[in-house]
Amino acid sequence: MEHNPSLHTLIYNLDLGRTKPDTVHRDASYCPFCDVAHLKNIMETRGHMIWLENAYPVLKDSWQTLIIESDDCDGEFCEYTPDYATKLIDFGLEKWQQVKEMGRFRSVVFYRNHGYMSGGTIHHPHSQIVGFENYDYHDDIKLYHLLGTPIIEEDGLEINLSTRPIIGFYEVNLILENKEKLPEFVRYMQLVAHYFIHDFVWRNESYNIFFYDFPGDSRLFVKIVPRFLTNPLYVGYMIAQVANKGHQQRVIEKLRTILSERK
Ligand SMILES: [Zn+2]
């Protein structure tokens, strides 16, 4: 497909962004997501989960929405009970689908941030669902970015380590084929996230979770990426790096052990 470069750059309103509350990098004590009574433009509430429009729509030609995940400001996805985590992801998938079905957007992304290096500014656990009017992420993200060396293969789901990561080093992909297995799938997501913030090879407290789907493919794809300073070869030359085989093998085996103890 022909790339139109002008559609591959999102305009971020930094003047508005500067006014955003930041409870991650600044020591701001006021959390807008705890102050539920003053939230505006709520679209749906399910228990303590709230889907609403982002009060700071910094991205041009986009529709930015958020899911506040819990009423616990210090809550964390990998610490939710498996049942709560499944209900949360189920809610998010439903809203993601709903935004896609609006037909207004070239593509819709669904992702969450955790930690200082993840790009998030509000500590309170939340996910983002954003519709892009002019940009289709499938122009840049291909199925091969979600494939890799198998870590776990079960009937209806697969977990692998990217062999062609987007940005580099360790990207764990989870592929759900059978929607009935969502509870197991979400439990694996929690365990991978927990591994990245507690047991990974270097100290790391940040990660992202990204959701993808591909036209004509009914599977759900999730990528979990530990975050640290982006390597300069990527910043300067878009070279994604992977770890040497021996290192990879140790990470795969450790993860396989952790994931196999799921039940
Ligand atoms: Zn809060």
127-152 pLDDT, tens digit per residue, is 999 999 999 999 999 999 999 999 99
Q: List CB contacts of 177: < 8 A, sequence separation 6 or more.
A: 156, 157, 158, 218, 219
The alpha carbon of 70 and the centre of ligand 1 are apart by a number of angstroms equal to: 9
Provide the edge-to-edge strand list for the sheet that holds 42-46.
42-46, 49-53, 62-68, 126-132, 107-114, 207-214, 217-226, 172-176, 157-162, 148-154
Rounded distance between C-alpha atoms, residue 68 and residue 72, angstroms: 10
For the stretch 15-34, pLDDT in tens is 888 888 787 776 667 899 99
The alpha carbon of 23 and the centre of ligand 1 are apart by a number of angstroms equal to: 9
Helix, strand counts (H, E) of the chain: 5, 10
Rounded distance between C-alpha atoms, residue 127 and residue 118, angstroms: 12
As its CATH architecture, domain 5-138 has 2-Layer Sandwich (3.30)
Check residue 245 and give its pLDDT: 95
Report the percent of the chain where pLDDT is more than 70.
Answer: 95
The alpha carbon of 68 and the centre of ligand 1 are apart by a number of angstroms equal to: 9
The alpha carbon of 65 and the centre of ligand 1 are apart by a number of angstroms equal to: 17
Check residue 204 and give its pLDDT: 78
Residues around ligand 1, an ion, CB closer than 5 A = 31, 33-34, 73, 124
The alpha carbon of 27 and the centre of ligand 1 are apart by a number of angstroms equal to: 13
Rounded distance between C-alpha atoms, residue 115 and residue 137, angstroms: 24
Question: Is residue 237 classed as helix, strand or coil in its secondary structure?
Answer: helix
> Domain ranges in the chain?
5-138, 143-260
For the stretch 197-207, pLDDT in tens is 998 877 678 99
What is the pTM for the complete model shown? Answer: 0.94
HSE at residue 108, side-chain half, CA atoms within 13 A, is 22
Both structure tokens of 168: 């580099």
The alpha carbon of 34 and the centre of ligand 1 are apart by a number of angstroms equal to: 4
CB 33 within 8 A of CB 124: yes
Residue 249 has pLDDT above 70, yes or no: yes
The alpha carbon of 138 and the centre of ligand 1 are apart by a number of angstroms equal to: 33
The alpha carbon of 189 and the centre of ligand 1 are apart by a number of angstroms equal to: 23
The alpha carbon of 31 and the centre of ligand 1 are apart by a number of angstroms equal to: 5
Lowest-pLDDT range of 20-29, 92-101, 130-139, 162-171: 20-29
- For residue 62, give Cα distances in angstroms to 13, 27, 65: 12, 29, 10
Mean per-residue pLDDT of the chain: 92
Task: Report CA Rg, the chain.
Answer: 18
Tracing tokens 């580099």 back to the chain, one arrives at 168
- For residue 74, give Cα distances in angstroms to 47, 69, 115, 124: 17, 11, 11, 6
As its CATH architecture, domain 143-260 has 2-Layer Sandwich (3.30)
Query: pLDDT band at 118, cuts 50/70/90?
Result: confident
Rounded distance between C-alpha atoms, residue 261 and residue 183, angstroms: 15
Residue type (1 letter), 205: E
The alpha carbon of 35 and the centre of ligand 1 are apart by a number of angstroms equal to: 7
The alpha carbon of 177 and the centre of ligand 1 are apart by a number of angstroms equal to: 34
Question: Is residue 251 classed as helix, strand or coil in its secondary structure?
Answer: helix
Residue 79 has pLDDT above 70, yes or no: yes
> What values do phi and psi take at 154, rounded to 5?
-130, 165
The alpha carbon of 46 and the centre of ligand 1 are apart by a number of angstroms equal to: 17
Check residue 1 and give its pLDDT: 45
Of 225, 228, 25, 12, the closest CA to residue 112 belongs to 225
Q: Do domains 5-138 and 143-260 have the same CATH topology?
A: yes
